[in-house]
Amino acid sequence: MEELYRLEREVGRGSYGVVFEGRVAKTGQRVAIKRLPCSNPECVELYLQELWAMRATAKNHVNVIALHSCLLQTGPRSLKPLKPGTAPRRLVESVLKGSVAEAAQSPERDGTDSLQGVTTTTTSSPSDSTTPRRPQDRARKRPAPRAEEEPQPAPRCLALWLVMEFCDGGDLNRFLLSRPPDCQRNHSVVRQLCRAVAFLHGLGITHRDLKPDNVLVCVTQGGPVVKVADFGLSKMSAGPVDGELTRQHFSSTCGSDFYMAPEVWGGLSYTARADIFSLGVMFWAVLERITFLEEGATQEQLGAYVCRGRWLMPLGEALWENPDLQLCVPTRLKRAPPLPPPPGAAVSALLLHMLAWDPDARPAADQLEARVSAALKDDDPLTEST
């Protein structure tokens, strides 16, 4: 094995996998390592989508998380590096057949994995996420009946390990909400996200789950560098997704409630412009520092919404129910310190375009950064490009 890794601590846990902070054993370089257990074909399909998307982006954009390597766990103490450009055949077969071969007893009996080249000590962490979760109750296909005699199967894939760059600033929620509001920082974050999504759409990748939890931050002397991550729900098309001839339509209702576009809420077919709606929700929340707290959660999240009495309704859901709904951007014309000043007229108009009920009325990703920069300049002639 070319690289051996040491896992030091758990830094995140979601519906599908666990993320550890680790180091390359030979160099000491910090990395993030995500373990994705291959327990059923539905999960495996999401993992392969993430792997393919991350391979396509490789290390080609500073605002997209970089994948260093991928490893297949085929036994309690066995890891097999996956060669670049090759597909994990066993996992592809699992998706096509709709079943995963029964795995051996898990090596995680006592909370400690001991794998070839990898030693991990996990810490207890609640599995509940403060963000809306992706559905976990999908029906599972029955495994194909086994013949009485069959050839010796290939080694089972117990888990897929993705080794990525480590982001020391945590996710965007944690990074921004743990610091006093700063307009220049907010503007930089918005511009960087524009660049990232334009890059992804240019490669034919629709993310489909853009939200602050899926944006990681690297802290540098020049300011925060944001990285779009978590491509488990992403889809790839043959060409740039904003081109008329290659605009791909999707039908699966997926994403996170407070950031989903109205057409996704309504179960209609949709395109990459649903990503632009999600960005609009994030931008509005970042620029005005709008937060919400889900029932039973203790961590605030950045996100815009519509108030229905005592209840909060996601923008996409509200617009699906009433396409003529008039959103109030900014939410308040006067903001008490230390909250940031409200967006100006030009930025507010752009946000409304991004949050339009009609997907075709939203700007394309490759136009977005220029429009954001122009709107910020119109609202404040002293604003400098970053």
Query: When comparing pLDDT for 11 and 212, which is higher?
Result: 212
Catalytic option among 113, 209, 213, 242:
209
Is residue 151 scored above 80 in pLDDT?
A: no
Mean pLDDT, the chain, rounded, equals 81
Quickly tell me which residue has 């790839």 as its tokens. Answer: 236
The amino acid present at 27, given as its one-letter code, is T
Reduce the secondary structure of the chain to three states and give it as a string: CCCCEEEEEEEEECCCCEEEEEEECCCCCEEEEEEEECCCHHHHHHHHHHHHHHHHHCCCCCCECCEEEEEEEEECCEEEECCCCCCCHHHHHHHHHCCCCCCCCCCCCCCEEEECCEEEECCCCCCCCCCCCCCCCCCCCCCCCCCCCCCCCCCCCCEEEEEEECCCCCEHHHHHHCCCCCHHHHHHHHHHHHHHHHHHHHCCEECCCCCHHHEEEEEECCEEEEEECCCCCCEECCCCCCCHHHCCCECCCCCCHHHCCHHHHCCCCECCHHHHHHHHHHHHHHHHCCEECCCCCCCCEECCEEEECCEEEEHHHHHHHCCCCCCCCCCCCCCCCCCCCCCCHHHHHHHHHHCCCCHHHCCCHHHHHHHHHHHHHHHCCCCCCC
- Give domain limits for the chain: 5-147+155-165, 172-379
**First CA to last CA distance, the chain:** 41
pLDDT digits (tens, 9 = 90+) for 187-242: 999 999 999 999 999 999 999 999 999 999 999 999 999 999 999 899 888 666 66
pLDDT digits (tens, 9 = 90+) for 327-352: 999 987 777 777 888 899 999 999 99
**259, 272 contact by CB (below 8 A):** no
Is residue 385 scored above 80 in pLDDT?
A: no
**2, 81 contact by CB (below 8 A):** yes
User: How high is the pLDDT of residue 127?
Assistant: 40
Is residue 72 scored above 60 in pLDDT?
A: yes
The answer to whether residue 209 is catalytic is yes
Is residue 364 scored above 90 in pLDDT?
A: yes
- Flag whether the pTM goes above 0.85: no
User: How high is the pLDDT of residue 136?
Assistant: 47
User: How high is the pLDDT of residue 96?
Assistant: 65
Query: When comparing pLDDT for 194 and 142, which is higher?
Result: 194
Q: 172-379, superfamily in CATH?
A: Transferase(Phosphotransferase) domain 1 (1.10.510.10)
Most confident of the ranges 35-44, 95-104, 132-141, 173-182 = 173-182
Query: When comparing pLDDT for 265 and 153, which is higher?
Result: 265
The percent of residues in the chain predicted with pLDDT above 70, rounded, is 77
User: How high is the pLDDT of residue 317?
Assistant: 96
pLDDT digits (tens, 9 = 90+) for 282-294: 999 999 999 998 7
- pLDDT classification of 5: cutoffs 50, 70, 90: confident
User: How high is the pLDDT of residue 41?
Assistant: 76
Residues 262-276, mean pLDDT to the nearest whole number: 95
User: How high is the pLDDT of residue 309?
Assistant: 83
- pLDDT classification of 141: cutoffs 50, 70, 90: very low
Quickly tell me which residue has 């002397």 as its tokens. Answer: 221
The dihedral formed by the CA atoms of 334, 340, 341 and 345, expressed in degrees to the nearest 10: -120
Query: When comparing pLDDT for 153 and 224, which is higher?
Result: 224
Q: What is the CATH number of domain 5-147+155-165?
A: 3.30.200.20
User: How high is the pLDDT of residue 80?
Assistant: 81
- pLDDT classification of 78: cutoffs 50, 70, 90: confident
Query: When comparing pLDDT for 11 and 240, which is higher?
Result: 11
Q: Distance between CA 33 and CA 6 in Å, rounded?
A: 10
Q: Which two tokens stand for residue 114?
A: 């001991």
Count of positions (residues) in the chain: 386
